[in-house]
Amino acid sequence: MQMNDSQRIPATREKVWTALNDPDTLKRCIPGCHSLEMTSPNEMTATVVLKVGPVKATFSGKVTLSDLDPPNSYRISGEGAGGIAGFAKGGATITLSSESSAATVLTYAVDTQIGGKLAQLGGRLIDSTAKKLANEFFKSFSEIVGGRADEPGALEGSTGNDDVSTENVR
């Protein structure tokens, strides 16, 4: 599965970068995240509970940050095992650009592979669930990093369309 999108975050690029590298902030934003711990400056372990269609699973995995260019970009790679439900592995390239002195555009390109029962659910269900989870993450992230989502200039979220740049602002 591949997913590409952009999100406008009402915060400086430096503040967004710091939050993207803070396990406590990420834990609060990742849907279903039960734990997220730094094990080294560029590695984290995580436990996430997800429900995709009829399949609910607890995934335990490892995340590695590479190609770091603070505060501009990095590559995040990871893999997680969900027991009988299957596995997920993949990565994303994250790029930050300053839109103004108080706003940042975060662009991401995700490429993932899944296996096990999850892979049997079908691409449409997997894609729609991934887009929903991404929207939930960015809504929470924007609220935490830049202020409440219903404030003027705050993020409204993705349209859910791959390869569509979203900068929906009131």
- Which pLDDT value is given to residue 78? 95
Q: What is the pLDDT of residue 123?
A: 87
Q: Do the Cβ atoms of 94 and 108 come closer than 8 Å? A: yes
pTM, 2 dp? 0.82
Question: Residue 102 has what pLDDT?
Answer: 93
Domains and CATH numbers, the chain: 2-165 (3.30.530.20)
Q: Tens place of pLDDT for every residue, the chain, 170 residues?
A: 999 999 999 999 999 999 999 999 999 999 999 999 999 999 999 999 999 999 999 999 999 999 999 999 999 999 999 999 999 999 999 999 999 999 999 999 999 999 999 889 888 999 999 999 999 999 999 999 997 544 443 333 433 334 332 333 32
Q: How far apart are the first and last CA of the chain?
A: 31
Contact 74, 91 (CB under 8 A): no
Burial of 131 (0-12, 13-18, 19+ CB in 10 A): middle
Burial 65-90 (b: 16+ CB within 10 A, else e): beeeeebeebebbbbbbbeebbbbeb
